[in-house]
Amino acid sequence: MKRSSLLVFAIAALLPLGAAAHKQWIIPSQAVVNGNDVWVTFDAAISNQLFFPDHVPMRLDNVTATAPDGSKVELKNGSTGKYRSTFDVQLLQQGTYRISNVSAGLSARWDTPESLAAKAKAEAEGKPASGPGAPPETRGGFLRNATPDDLASKVPADAKNLQITEGNGRVETFVTNGAPNETALAPSGRGIELVPVTHPNDLFAGEEATFRVLVDGKPTAGLEFEIVRGGTRYRNAQDDLNATTDAEGLLKVTWPEPGMYWLETSVQDDKPANPKATQRRLGYVATLEVLPQ
C-alpha cells in the first residue's frame, strides 16, 4: 500500500462524522457506452464543489479498474495535476467495469506531558483546550498513514490518551459497455460496499433505485447516506437528498432529475482488525450517472 494514496482519507478519518467538507470522487466522461474499442476518460479529485476540481487531486497509486470478467485493466495515460488526476480506460470487453480507490491504514493521536500542561493552562485562562482556537501546544502527537512499526517506534513511552484509528475507505464509479453484468461488482467482504439490486448503470430520473449496503460482507441497517447531484458550483443550495438503509440493509433512492450524483456514507465502530487500534472508521463514496427517461 502506497502511503500517498491514503493521505486525504487519513485526515478525514480524524474528523467527526459528517464534518469533512471536502468530497472525494472519481467521475467518468460517460458511464454507458457501446462499442468494440471504446475509451472512457476519468477525472479523480478531492474538492469543495461537485464535480469541480478546486482543492487537491486524488492520487492514482491505489486506483484500480476491474473488467466485466473480473480481471484487472491497466489505467492508460495517467496524469496528476494541481487539482485533479486523469486517466483513460480502454473498454475491450462487453459488460460492466468497476473503477475503485480502496484505501486502508492506521492513524494515531496522543497527549504528551507538555500538551496536557498546555491544556490545563488554557482551561485555567478560559481559553479552548482543544479544537478551533486552542493554542498549538495543546495538540500533542499525531501520526497518519502509520504502520504497526511506526506505532512501536514513533509513539513515545510517556504518551497519554493514545487513540489509534483504523481506516478503510472506498471511492468508486461504474461504466458499462453494451449489456451490463455484475461480475466486477462482487463484494470483497471488507468495509462498506454497495451491491446492486438495481444495476448502477441502469438509473433513470423519476425512478426508484435499490442497492444493498454491506459492512464487512453483511447487510447493515441504519446507515445514513448523503446524496448530491453535481454542479453545486452553479446553484445556491446543495439540494442534497438523505436516505437510510432499512432493516434488510436496502438503500432506496428516487432520482429527482438527470445528472451525475455523489453518494456518501461513513460509520465509526469498535471493530478494528488491528489489535492495536481502539476504533475503526469506514467510508464509502460512489459517483453514479442518472439518465433522463
Indicate whether 156 belongs to any domain: no
* Residue 116 maps to a domain: no
What pLDDT does residue 19 have? Answer: 36
Q: Whole domain around residue 214: which residue ranges?
A: 3-105+167-290
| pLDDT grade for 173, boundaries at 50, 70 and 90 | very high
d(CA 269, CA 20): 18
ω into 9 cis (within 30 of 0)? no
Q: Is residue 161 part of a domain?
A: no
141 located within any domain: no
For the stretch 127-157, pLDDT in tens is 999 888 999 999 999 998 888 888 889 999 8
Residue 121's H or E segment, with its range, is: helix 113-124
Hey, CA dihedral for 91, 96, 99, 100, is it positive or negative? negative
Q: Indicate the average pLDDT of the chain.
A: 91
Q: What is the pLDDT of residue 276?
A: 84
User: Is 204 a member of any domain?
Assistant: yes
Residue 126 forms part of a structural domain: no
DSSP three-state, residue 263: strand
DSSP 203-233: -BTTSEEEEEEEETTEE-S--EEEEEES-GG
For residue 15, is it within any domain? yes
Q: Name, in order, each residue with C-beta under 8 angstroms of 267's C-beta and a sequence gap of 6 or more.
A: 17, 192, 215, 223, 281, 282
CATH number, domain at 267? 2.60.40.10
Q: State whether residue 116 is helix, strand or coil.
A: helix
Kindly state whether residue 172 falls inside one of the protein's structural domains. yes
- In this structure, the strands spanning 259-269 and 224-229 are antiparallel
Residue 7 banded pLDDT, cuts 50, 70, 90: very low
Q: What is the pLDDT of residues 39-75, one digit of tens each?
A: 999 999 999 999 999 999 999 999 999 999 999 999 9
| E strand map for 92-223 | 95-111, 141-146, 160-177, 192-196, 208-215, 218-219
Domain count, the chain: 1
The residue with cell 467495469 is 97
What letter represents residue 195's amino acid?
V
